[in-house]
Amino acid sequence: MATAAAAKAPASLPPFLAACARQPVPHTPIWIMRQAGRYLPEYRKVRAATTFAGLTRDPALACEVTLQPIRRFALDASIIFSDIMVPLEGMGVKLDYAPGPVIETPIQTRAQIEALRPLVPEQDVPFVMESIRLTRAGLPAHVPLIGFCGSPFTLFCYLVAGKPSKEFALPRQFLHAEPVLATMLLERLADAMIVYLRAQAGAGAQALMMFESWGGLLGPADYAAFALPAVKRIIAGLKDVGVPVIYFANNCMGNLPSIAQLDVDVVGVDWRTPLSYARGVLKGKAIQGNLDPATLFAPKETLLSRIDGVLADAGPAPGHIFNLGHGIWPETDPDAVARLVDYVHEKTSHG
């Protein structure tokens, strides 16, 4: 469907970028968080021959796994294969994936924060930009490439806790026990993400996405006090970059009134946040989401009715990018993904 639409209107924006700009689209564009990932046998094959970290650092392999889902499915966007922790390694943080990120020495003191090096992307993480250049060259014209980073608060959670956690109690305690240090660390992370995202756009990323994976652990007052200013700082630093910015606000329904203040083009929401509610609060922004990844395990009729539900909840206004409400699960059947992508295109095609 995407190919047909692009062929009909070659001069117009690809559907994904049109939706980011809330312009009319030939069909609702769709892509899938973690679409380059373990649910694909061809990904598992590449991954088996290296480590996760090795995969992020090898442009040829990162390009290959980024392109794999594009070959299989009629997806409307591609996202570079990498990890939100990659630039932190460039700042001097020693970490490993087990499989979640584990920090050798969790960051909890002023001295450790001051010892973080400012990021110089082409020097510290050149392989990311090379992956983007290779991938952009390998993608069809109608499939834009998304670059990304973690939000400052999300990175803060991993750095302070030192490892994945259900509640991230330690970083949340740190915010309150050491608000000045917390803000200092969040600002340094924001400054690094500005140059990192700008370098990705410079290398060919056609949209930039920030993953606020853990901001949903903060109530509205803490989100507004700590997470939001750091995101605003990044957005201010991207003002002249000329590509759409997407903010994925995981589990942030209660924080949407704050998020409405952000000058971003698109807000992605998780499967728990009704799109109609998000639309109401985020007037003037496109929305992205939000099928529950669990739905891909349902029988066909249930899956299609839940897709219908997402489309109905998004409403007829332009500016909806279909996606899952969270990353696809490793156990997912690729056939269910094909069914999802094709059904969204069929159901929303305007001719």
Give which of 255, 169, 153, 259 is closest to 214, Cα–Cα. Answer: 153
Q: What angle, rounded to 10 degrees, do the helices at 41-48 and 59-72 form?
A: 170
Give which of 142, 170, 171 is closest to 156, Cα–Cα. Answer: 171
- Compute the least distance from the CB of residue 218 to a copy of itself, in Å: 8
Site string for a copy of itself, 120-149 (x = CB under 8 A): ------------------------------
Told to check if 52 binds a copy of itself by CB under 8 A, we report no
Return the amino acid letter for 145: L
Return the amino acid letter for 104: E
User: Contact, 125 vs 87, CB < 8 A?
Assistant: yes
Told to check if 254 binds a copy of itself by CB under 8 A, we report yes
Neighbours of 105 (CB within 10 A): 12
What Rg, from alpha-carbon coordinates, does the chain have?
Answer: 19
Told to check if 183 binds a copy of itself by CB under 8 A, we report no
Taking CB under 8 A as the criterion, the residue among 126, 138, 229, 274 binding a copy of itself is 274
Taking CB under 8 A as the criterion, the residue among 216, 244, 268, 319 binding a copy of itself is 216
CA atoms within 13 A on the CB side of 22: 17
From CA 270, how far away is CA 251, in angstroms rounded?
6
Taking CB under 8 A as the criterion, the residue among 50, 277, 280, 300 binding a copy of itself is 277
Q: Which residues are catalytic?
A: 34, 38, 47, 83, 158
Site string for a copy of itself, 307-336 (x = CB under 8 A): --x---------------x---x-x-----
Which residues here bind a copy of itself, judged by CB under 8 A? 164, 166, 169, 172-173, 175-177, 179, 216-222, 251, 253-255, 271-274, 277, 290, 292-295, 297-299, 302, 306, 309, 325, 329, 331
